[in-house]
Amino acid sequence: MKYLTCLRTLLFMATLISSAVYAVAPTFPDGDDGYRLWLKYDSLEKSQSKKIHREIKSWHVAGDSATSAVIRKELHMALEGLVGGIAENERSFGKRSLLLATPEQVPALAEHIDSESLGDEGYTIKNLKLDGKALTVIAANTDVALLYGTFDFLRQLQLGKTPGELDLVSVPRIDVRTLNHWDNLDRHVERGYSGSSIWDWHKLPEYVYPHYYDYARANASLGINGTVLNNVNANALVITPHYLEKVKALADVFRPYGIKVYVSVKFSSPQLIGGLKTSDPLDPAVQQWWKDKADEIYDIIPDFGGFLVKANSEGQPGPGDFGRTHAEGANMLADALAPHGGIVMWRAFVYAHDKNEERSKQAYSEFKPLDGKFRKNILVQVKNGPIDFQPREPFSPLFGATPQTPMMMEFQVTMEYLGFSTHMVYLGTMYEEALQAETYAKGEGSTVARVVDGSLFNNSISGMAGVANIGTDRNWTGHPILQSNWYVFGRMAWDPDARADVIADEWIRQTLTREKKVVASIKDMMMRSREMTVDYMTPLGLHHLMATGHHYGPGPWVDNLGRDDWNPTYYHRADKNGIGLDRSPSGENAVEQYFSPLKEQFAKPETTPEEFLLWFHHLPWDYKIKSTGRTLWDELVHRYYQGAEDVKAMAAQWDTLEGKIDPLQFKQVQMALDIHVKEAYWWRNACVLYFQTFSKRPIPDGLEKPEGSLEEYKAMEFPYAPGRG
């Protein structure tokens, strides 16, 4: 008995201890890990679900291609999740069913749709009667377009619609809609902040991960139809037989999803892997080598997309090494690919070593004179701004300047210059700003969007590329909200006139919550987030103030790099008189590259939009800022402070969402915001303290002193910051 009591006491104490341990043990919320992206298909509200069941009794996919199989699988999964499942009718379509078909598969459809205007990728979703049966129809000319229609249909359901209400036509405005992966063959991702490369090159071609399929689904859901698998700073090996087998394995996975594979090639490949003595594009042996290489590639991958090329830029080889032009280099590759239907995306991100021209002007100087000299299967790929993916830049003056050469837009989706994957910055507003900018190339209405979609100059091909932010992180992009940048890129590549707020809204409702107030709050944060970033990093048109190499954090003081135009001091030009880079006619005259009336507007500080003031002008510290009446110095400081405070307020706003969205997603964003706030203040303090050494003016009244000392900030080093080039 005594023994038993003793045992009981012991057991009791053990329970107490273990529950105490349990109580204090740190816990981490369970929840949604973000892997499903915006394709979650969680159950819809009862009333909506009932209505859907009333409207659709069964569904039928008429085709029998690999793509049709993908559509079936997606519909099964999605309808199961959204409304508890709807039966597939494998043989035909009955009354009140959802029918997915091309007019070839169901000829009676022909009179109901305008096939010609849909092209190969457009689709329509509408309600109509066929053989006396009321149907909801997703119709298109190809199975891939039907897949796009399927994803739109599912998106509409998730946005609260029911099939009976749908009546839409959607045709992509841009032909080539690609992601660019800056992924190396060793799986390091240049400027990648979401883990390693999702391509496991070593295990390919035999080992194919499920995430390759989910990657394809996600892209197809946005209409992205191409992927460039490897870094623009290319490794020549990617087109050797060993790697082509691996590329083929990925192409096979992606084909049913309408996604073509492309690779970045090194211009000197004939020498590096071909054993030739030169890579001169006018040398017949070199031309033959590329032709043979193209034949070899298309033998293995018949629908291979083509090449992306970074040439004569940042140390990469190119035609310039042999005294040839970019057009001569690009044409040689285009000629090799043309018989197979392939294209060349030739980058205009060039700034030559030997040129003494201000950097923002060089791409235009190089490419404008080549207009009309490129083959028909070439797109020149231009970054949105004339420098390099900065938080804010005016649009590149190449847009609109080359009527005979299609300019393909290149956006950065990964956040190299925008705080990596811990700053919560929605880039939709930045993309929209660039695409909606007026070039005035053919008078008013000549927006960048119309240059890029080819409609302004009637180009026969058009394209948009996004440098991917995707990696092996479970949530793909390292930060739940940054998935929206992949999403908005894809949606704007489909429709360059789409609006950032509409897209943010639809992304939130599919990914995070459908609760109105919560949606509104998250959208509000997303929509303001990029402007805050501009404020705490590079307000008033400042740019390229990031630290050296990794670009993590502020480094406005850096002035010792190999090239003048790699130094932040080159860009801000702060001195005792003022700050900013004079690109007006009295300075570098970069404004001359823009059409009137922009060139006149940008020529004078009074008519330059404030957000570009220091991009185009070097102004005295006492210069009066029109919108606020403050001096330039006071305004600069105010903006730095405002940006940091806005981020802090955003973090507090996020905190109010606890319990209102998935706990794990909430927590992940909250933790990232802790870093974001800290780093916004770091940017603010470091930049203000540094610029103060020139302005010699006090921190404006009412603002606290920046914490820390400039010396401390300058001494900070981050040898292991991710994503290095």
For residue 715 the two structure tokens come to 């001494």
CB of 397 to ligand BDP, least distance (A): 18
Binding to ligand BDP by residue 411, rule CB under 6 A?
no
Residue closer to ligand BDP, measured from CB, 467 or 519: 467
How crowded is residue 573: how many other Cβ atoms within 10 Å of its Cβ?
17
Q: Between 415 and 434, how does the x/- string for binding to ligand BDP read (CB under 6 A)?
A: -x------------------
Residue 388 falls in the annotated catalytic set: yes
Q: How many residues bind ligand BDP (CB under 6 A)?
A: 11
Nearer to ligand BDP, 351 or 654 (CB): 351
Q: Which of 59, 254, 351, 389 binds ligand BDP (CB under 6 A)?
A: 389
Tokens of 83: 């409304």
Question: Which residue, 221 or 412, has its beta carbon nearer to ligand BDP?
Answer: 412
Of 55, 280, 328, 416, catalytic: 416
Strand partners, 99: 60, 137
The distance of closest approach from Cβ of residue 549 to ligand BDP in the complex, given in angstroms and rounded to an integer, is 9
> Among 283, 296, 314, 565, which one carries the catalytic annotation?
314
Q: Judged by CB, which is closer to ligand BDP: 313, or 439?
A: 313
Residue from 233, 278, 589, 670 binding ligand BDP (CB under 6 A): 233
> Alpha-carbon distance 300 to 246, whole Å?
10
Scanning 84-122, the segments in alpha helix (DSSP H) are 115-118
Residue number with the smallest Cβ distance to ligand BDP: 725
Q: x/- site string to ligand BDP, residues 193 to 232, per CB under 6 A?
A: ---------------------------------------x
CA–CA dist 460, 416 (Å, integer): 33
Region of residue 723 (phi > 0: left; psi between -120 and 50: alpha; otherwise: beta):
left
Q: How far apart are CA 85 and CA 92, in angstroms?
A: 18
Shortest distance, CB of residue 193 to ligand BDP, whole angstroms?
13
DSSP 8-state secondary structure symbol assigned to residue 689: H
Which has the closest alpha carbon to 682: 650, 651, 644? 644
Q: Which residue, chain included where needed, has tokens 């689904």?
A: 217
Cβ–Cβ < 8 Å for 653, 676: no
Nearer to ligand BDP, 416 or 634 (CB): 416
Residue 12 or 718 with smaller CB distance to ligand BDP? 718
- Nearest alpha-carbon partner for 362 in 616, 585, 590, 563: 590
Q: Per rule CB under 6 A, is residue 190 in the interface with ligand BDP?
A: yes
**C-beta of 314: minimal distance to ligand BDP in Å?**
6
Report d(CA 168, CA 152) in Å as an integer: 10
349 binds ligand BDP (CB under 6 A): yes
* Rounded least distance, CB 232 to ligand BDP, Å: 5
Closest CA to 407 of 470, 347, 362: 347
Q: Is 388 in the site for ligand BDP (CB under 6 A)?
A: yes
Measured in whole angstroms, how far is the alpha carbon of residue 205 from the centre of its chain? 27
Q: Is residue 131 a contact partner of residue 146, using CB atoms and an 8 Å limit?
A: no
Smallest distance, ligand BDP to C-beta of residue 283, A:
26
In the complex, least distance from residue 346 CB atom to ligand BDP, rounded to whole angstroms: 13
State how far the Cα of 200 lies from the Cα of 207, in Å rounded to an integer: 8
**Residue 353 touches ligand BDP, criterion: CB under 6 A:** no
Q: Is 416 a catalytic residue?
A: yes
For ligand BDP, the closer of residues 233 and 589 by Cβ is 233
The set of long-range contacts for 546-549, using a CB threshold of 8 Å and a minimum separation of 24, is 546/417, 547/718, 549/724, 549/725
Residue 638: φ, ψ to 5°: -55, -40
C-beta closer to ligand BDP: residue 51 or 544: 544
Cis, bond preceding 205 (omega within 30 deg of 0): yes
Nearest distance from C-beta of residue 289 to ligand BDP, angstroms: 25
Residue selected from 310, 450, 479, 491 as contacting ligand BDP according to rule CB under 6 A: 310
Residues identified as active-site: 314, 388, 416
**In the complex, which residues of this chain contact ligand BDP (CB under 6 A)?**
190-191, 232-233, 310, 314, 349, 388-389, 416, 725
